[in-house]
Amino acid sequence: MIEGIDHIGIAVHSIEEKRALYEEVLGLSHEGTEVVEEQGVKVAFFRAGASLIELLEPIDEEGPVARFLEKNGEGIHHLALRCDDIETERQQVESAGVRLLSDRPLDGAHGKLISFLHPRDTGRVLLELTQRKEQGDK
Ligand code: ZN
């Protein structure tokens, strides 16, 4: 089951450069910055009510976010939907003919499991499924 919008991912050249906008101008609280090696990014989270804003800064020049920035510049990169069971959602999506970008859930930031849907099958919106690994995790 999809429980809501977990976060919106925004690609930036520099988290340091952009964090004042979210923290000081908009007054959102910073909920941590971490490196997600598997995705070649550094991510910073800012709390916006029930959802988060996730700034993505590439640390790997060949990674998907670096390529996105090269092609499109800074901007909205993906929309993440929180689900209670990522395996069930993956099966449901695939049985509807929507492709997934990985053959298994990957490790995301905050210890979450994530999977991306193929943007060619979603009207060019990069959708992420995300599931907390354990109940009670943020
Ligand atoms: Zn994300």
**Could you read off the pLDDT of 5-45 as tens digits, one per residue?**
999 999 999 999 999 999 999 999 999 999 988 889 999 99
pLDDT digits (tens, 9 = 90+) for 120-129: 999 999 999 9
Give residue 77 CA to ligand 1 midpoint distance, Å.
Answer: 9
Residue 62 Cα to ligand 1 middle (Å)? 18
Q: What is the pLDDT of residue 111?
A: 85
Three-class secondary structure assignment of 59-87: CCCCCHHHHHHHHHCCEEEEEEEEECCHH
Strand partners, 75: 11
Rounded to the nearest angstrom, the distance between the alpha carbon of 69 and the centre of ligand 1 is 16
Q: What is the pTM of this model?
A: 0.91
Domain range summary for the chain, segments of one domain joined by +:
2-132
Q: Tell me the CA–centroid distance for residue 1 and ligand 1, in Å.
A: 18
C-alpha of residue 116 to centroid of ligand 1, in Å:
9
Tell me how far the alpha carbon of residue 29 lies from the centroid of ligand 1, in angstroms.
Answer: 18
Q: How far apart are the CA of 95 and the centre of ligand 1, in A?
A: 23
Strand 29-36 to strand 106-107: parallel, antiparallel, or no bridges (unpaired)? unpaired
CA of 133 relative to ligand 1 center, distance in Å: 15
Burial per residue of 82-119, b for 16 or more beta-carbon CB atoms within 10 angstroms, e otherwise: bbeebeebbeebeeeeeebeeeebbebbbebbbbbbee
2-132 falls under which CATH superfamily?
2,3-Dihydroxybiphenyl 1,2-Dioxygenase, domain 1 (3.10.180.10)
Count of residues making up the chain: 138
59-65-69-75 Cα dihedral, nearest 10 degrees: -120
CA distance 107 to 119: 20
